[in-house]
Amino acid sequence: MARQTPYTAHPPAPPPRGPRGAGDVLRALLAALALAALLIALPVALVHFVGWPLPDSPPSLSTLRQPITPATFVDVLAVVVWLAWAQFTACVLVEVKAAVSGVGLPARVPGAGPSQLMARQLIAAVLLLGASAASLAPSLSSLAPGDAAPRRAPLTATAPQDPAAQRKQPGPSPEADRQRGTESRPGGTRGVAAVAPRPGVRATKFYRVQPPEGRHHDSLWEIARRHLGDGRRYQEIYELNKDRPQPDGSRLSLASLIRPGWIVEMPADAHGGDVVEMPGEAPGTGPGVRKQIAAYAETGAVHPTADGGPEARREDPRPPADHAASPASPSPAAGEHAVEVHGAPVAGLPEALLAAPLLAAGLLTALGRRRRAALWDAAARAVRPVRHRMPVPEGPATDAHDALLAGADPEAVRDLDRALRGLTRTLTATGRTLPAVYAAWLTPDALHLQLADEAGPPPEPWERGQDQLFWCLERAAVPRLSRDEETAAPYPGLVSLGTLDGARLLLNLEAVPGLVTLTGAPAARTAVLSSLAAELATNGWSDRMTVTLVGFGAGLPALAPTRLRHLPDTAALLESLEAETGHRRRALAAAGHDSVLTGRTGRARHAQSAPHLVLLAAEPSPDEARRLAALAADSGRLGIGYLLATATADVPGATWQLEITPEGRLIAPLFGLDLAAQQLPDAQHAAVVALFASATPTDDGPGPTAPALAVDLTGPTPPAVYARIIGPYRITGLDAPEAERGALLREALALLLLHREGVHPRVLAAALWPRGVTPDVHDALVTRLRAWLGSDPDGGPRLTTDATGRLVLAPSVVSDWDVLQNLHHQATTGRGAHDPAVRERFLTDALALARGPLLADRPEGRYAWLAHEIAEAQLRFLLIESALDLAAHHRAHDRPQSAATALEAALAAAPGDERLWHELLRTAHATGDVERLEAVVRRLLDHHAPPRALPPQTRALLDELAPAWHARAAN
């Protein structure tokens, strides 16, 4: 597939806002009067009533000794007023320039914080009624075009068609609206889903995408709004043109990504522009353009005719396989994408987590870290017996965990992280600083960064996007960084807001020049804030960060106690933020940096470069709102970002305004944003917090947790199917599956063996096909898996479905992992707890199962789901505990050789555990065999090469047992 260099990396604009109310008009008039009074009336009054305030001749010493008269006092005051007027005038000019250009942040007038803030608010009020309103938020307005931008006359051509098809068709019925996901209501529908092509309308016209005019760019929404009368019909244009080859060899794969010079086919009721009967007769076009339109018309496929039936105009010249292989076709909305990617049933799983792949991946990674840390923390406490089993989630927590497993996209997180860190490394190597980034669009194929200001040519392998403010990197070209090349995370404040047609928008809260406000229903606002907080706390593309939650999310700090903190109200926040803002200003000045981004490149990383993001759900008082606005005025360069969820958008210092609609759309009319919002509603919020709160071994319960499946290989009825998954994967009791499908069947069985509680079909589909699968393929695999496993002698199937719809293995299907857990349980809390001989036998049998790591011979590229499993850590844990207990038992009975054998078996599976090395050193020393001790020391030093990597406790033990180890290390 040809490389695509997208033209617009933004979603279509929403419908134009209706007429402004009387309050808006009055506010604009008052602001205009205030500006006129301050800029014109004030100097005129000074000239008329005071005159020239300065003396006519240079002052002398005698002047200083003269008494101060009322006239002198008035002249001094007049000078002060003139200086204040000049400063305010400069602020107005700076803000007007920024509003008109729409590029970058407004320049800061020295010492004019309050004056510049007042000028910004007055200019904003005056321009609110004009077409330049979107430019009040610098550069972000180019995420979607403005409505009133001057444009060249578009080129629209008509291809030959049946005259009967040109008759005007009746408008869509309410039923047709419902089928398209819309609803007929007065005043139109806001934030509706993409609509399907209207029945009875043939696509026969063509439009050539125009180059940008100023800040404004062409988009499918804007084309539909101008030529079809409704921007929401952009999906019709997309469906007519997706995956068709463009003149430059690329294809339209996302509705939000088009580029100048492309040709798009239009529905027959398109109007406006230079409409002609034949593509070759389009006036004002050269022969090359006419040839391109005619050639593009030849690539058209089947379209509906006036009677609703298909008309085979021209078949697509590409083979059907190309359609199946297209990575972005189809491009559903966020919720549909989550369901369609893995294709399996989703009953019982929360859609909010399924539709948030970056959030889900971060939560899973953080949850795994928490569980592993809790596991080893329990071992460090040396309480016998140590509980190794994690509590199995129940109720909503189970569904939430399954949704995380099914919805996570770790590859996207990895690509985003490597792309951003690679950009830092490349810019540092060339002596350049990081550009300020307002937003990023992550698509299945590429990452698009939107810069706050032009930053020169992008470094390779990055390319220029739609204009000089966009840098683009295809995901296939993301650099692979080694550990030596790891560098600081450049944009840790990026966080997902929502999706449009498979493209995910991440806003850089750290770079926002002022406050971001979020309006809407209280529950929806909190759901958005909770999603932002959870992703910021656990994402994989940031290092250090502080996220302060105000007025919501008291339980969320459990996700990341070192990152998240909760405050009850705004008053508690302002005191600490005012001090921190002043400290950051002084620290940047002392370091000679103009922003925190400067401190993230080069070898010297600035101490204050970690971002601090503030998410507020508590309504501030008027005084608190003014203090917040003053803090946010300079927050962008300091690395402090503010997002305020409020009932009204009329907040001082609010630069960007977002709204969450009842339909779950996140919109910003001034910026042309209309997304499927990413949310974490209260139910999923509580379930996720419960998962993290329970991520600890059950050390303090009434007793140890028994294994999920009781296994006794010595009993009268051995298992019908026995799978060895510790070490190389081997299965006995089943016929070998057919070679073509064997790998998938074996992997599915391994996943089920590690989850005796059952696996949701959606989780199984996501594990086996991380890039997506259709329901028929998934269902066929489950059918084959049932047939392969077969039935027990009593006729019961070995693969069943429980009441919750999860796939569960019968007790007759057993793995060595089940056996290991049972042996350890029997040795520590069962029959071996009070009988040393029985205990020794159970522990010896357990260590005999240590044949290597879990699924040691798994093929490369498969079993990626193991990264989210705790079983690998639990396996090492059980083998280490069994070896330590058995070695202590043998040493107590003066059998050091047997103790060493037990420790060696565990070291083969966990060579990095220091406790095993310590016990092996003690055991070798207890034998009195100097050569044996020296051999263990050599192995230990080789494992920890260079010797300075030895932990302090290991050094101390070597000094005690083998003082000559330093000489060996030197050799």
Q: Which pairing describes strands 470-474 and 564-567: parallel, antiparallel, or unpaired?
A: unpaired
Q: How far is CA 827 from CA 520, 845, 886, in A?
A: 59, 10, 10
**Comparison of pLDDT for 139 and 274, the residue scoring more:** 274
For the chain, the maximum distance between any two Cα atoms, rounded to a whole number of angstroms, is 119
3-state secondary structure of 40: helix
**Comparison of pLDDT for 945 and 625, the residue scoring more:** 625
Of 283, 311, 540, nearest to 408 (Cα)?
540
Of 106, 112, 120, nearest to 31 (Cα)?
120
Between CA 536 and CA 614 the distance in angstroms is: 11
Q: Which pLDDT score is estimated for 173?
A: 39
Contact 920, 904 (CB under 8 A): yes
Q: Give the tens place of pLDDT for each residue, 327-337.
A: 332 233 333 33
Q: Of 188-202, 481-495, 539-553, which gets the smallest average pLDDT?
A: 188-202
Of 277, 386, 406, 284, nearest to 344 (Cα)?
406
3-state secondary structure of 2: coil
Is the pLDDT at 288 greater than 50, yes or no?
Answer: yes
Q: Which pLDDT score is estimated for 564?
A: 94
Question: Taking residues 131-140, what's their average pLDDT?
Answer: 36
- Pull the structure tokens for residue 448: 């698009």
- Per residue, the 3-state secondary structure of 65-111, as one string, reads HCCCCHHHHHHHHHHHHHHHHHHHHHHHHHHHHHHHHCCCCCCCCCC
Q: Which pLDDT score is estimated for 616?
A: 95
pTM of the complete model: 0.67
β partners of residue 738: none
Q: Which pLDDT score is estimated for 670?
A: 67
Q: Which pLDDT score is estimated for 683?
A: 93
Is the pLDDT at 246 greater than 60, yes or no?
Answer: yes
The torsion of the CA quartet 306, 308, 312, 317, rounded to 10 degrees, works out to 110
Cβ density class 72-96: b for 16+ within 10 Å, e for less: eeebeebeebbeebebbbbbbebbb
Q: Which pLDDT score is estimated for 238?
A: 83
β partners of residue 437: 451
3-state secondary structure of 443: coil
Between CA 752 and CA 808 the distance in angstroms is: 7
DSSP label of 807: E
3-state secondary structure of 496: strand
Contact 839, 793 (CB under 8 A): no
Place of tokens 């244009």: 237
Q: What angle do CA 405, 410, 411 make, to 5 degrees?
A: 140
Q: What angle do CA 67, 71, 73 make, to 5 degrees?
A: 70
Determine which helix (DSSP H) or strand (DSSP E) holds 764, and give its type and residue range.
helix 761-768
Between CA 881 and CA 892 the distance in angstroms is: 17
DSSP label of 771: T
**Comparison of pLDDT for 215 and 184, the residue scoring more:** 215
Identify the top-confidence range among 73-87, 135-149, 706-720.
73-87
How many Cα atoms within 13 Å fall on the side-chain side of residue 782?
A: 24
Contact 111, 87 (CB under 8 A): yes
Q: What percent of the chain has pLDDT over 90?
A: 33
DSSP label of 161: -
> Binning pLDDT at 50, 70 and 90, where does residue 400 land?
very high
Question: Taking residues 467-484, what's their average pLDDT?
Answer: 84
Between CA 549 and CA 804 the distance in angstroms is: 36
Which amino acid does the sequence have at 741? Answer: R
Question: Taking residues 935-957, what's their average pLDDT?
Answer: 84
Is the pLDDT at 272 greater than 70, yes or no?
Answer: yes
Q: Give the tens place of pLDDT for each residue, 810-859.
A: 999 999 999 999 999 889 888 888 899 999 999 999 999 988 889 998 98
Between CA 470 and CA 466 the distance in angstroms is: 6
Which amino acid does the sequence have at 122? Answer: L
| Residue 810, C-beta contacts closer than 8 angstroms, at least 6 positions apart | 792, 796, 797, 798, 799, 800
Taking residue 572's Cβ as centre, other Cβ atoms within 10 Å add up to: 15
**Comparison of pLDDT for 732 and 198, the residue scoring more:** 732
- Pull the structure tokens for residue 232: 């929401």
Contact 171, 126 (CB under 8 A): no
Cα four-point dihedral sign 108, 109, 112, 117 = negative
- Per residue, the 3-state secondary structure of 575-624, as one string, reads HHHHHHHHHHHHHHHHHCCCCHHHHHCCCCCCCCCCCEEEEECCCCCHHH
Question: Taking residues 941-969, what's their average pLDDT?
Answer: 82
Place of tokens 């229903």: 521
**Comparison of pLDDT for 466 and 403, the residue scoring more:** 403
> Binning pLDDT at 50, 70 and 90, where does residue 419 land?
very high
Q: What angle do CA 308, 312, 316 make, to 5 degrees?
A: 125
Is the pLDDT at 188 greater than 50, yes or no?
Answer: no
| Residue 940, C-beta contacts closer than 8 angstroms, at least 6 positions apart | 917, 921, 954, 958
**Comparison of pLDDT for 400 and 22, the residue scoring more:** 400
**Comparison of pLDDT for 230 and 866, the residue scoring more:** 866
Of 557, 523, 190, nearest to 352 (Cα)?
523
Q: Which pLDDT score is estimated for 373?
A: 83
Which amino acid does the sequence have at 523? Answer: A
Question: Taking residues 905-923, what's their average pLDDT?
Answer: 88
Contact 559, 363 (CB under 8 A): yes
Between CA 705 and CA 717 the distance in angstroms is: 25
| Residue 34, C-beta contacts closer than 8 angstroms, at least 6 positions apart | 122
What is the chain's Cα-based Rg? 34
**Comparison of pLDDT for 43 and 947, the residue scoring more:** 43
Taking residue 365's Cβ as centre, other Cβ atoms within 10 Å add up to: 18
Cα four-point dihedral sign 891, 894, 900, 902 = negative
| Residue 852, C-beta contacts closer than 8 angstroms, at least 6 positions apart | 726, 727, 728, 908, 909
Q: Which pLDDT score is estimated for 247?
A: 82
Q: Which pLDDT score is estimated for 472?
A: 95
Between CA 514 and CA 520 the distance in angstroms is: 20
Is the pLDDT at 392 greater than 70, yes or no?
Answer: yes
Between CA 887 and CA 906 the distance in angstroms is: 11
Provide long-range contacts, Cβ within 8 A and 24+ apart, for 563-567: 563/536, 563/537, 564/533, 564/537
Sheet containing strand 813-815, edge to edge, reads 730-732, 721-724, 813-815
Q: Which pairing describes strands 640-645 and 515-520: parallel, antiparallel, or unpaired?
A: parallel
Helices 816-828 and 836-848 cross at an angle (nearest 10°) of 160
Between CA 550 and CA 572 the distance in angstroms is: 9
Contact 437, 508 (CB under 8 A): yes
β partners of residue 815: 723
Between CA 92 and CA 86 the distance in angstroms is: 10
Q: Which pLDDT score is estimated for 150?
A: 31
**Comparison of pLDDT for 543 and 303, the residue scoring more:** 543
| Residue 692, C-beta contacts closer than 8 angstroms, at least 6 positions apart | 366, 367, 370, 558, 559
Between CA 179 and CA 175 the distance in angstroms is: 6
Q: Determine the distance from the C-alpha atom of residue 12 to the mean position of all C-alpha atoms in its chain, rounded to a whole number.
A: 21
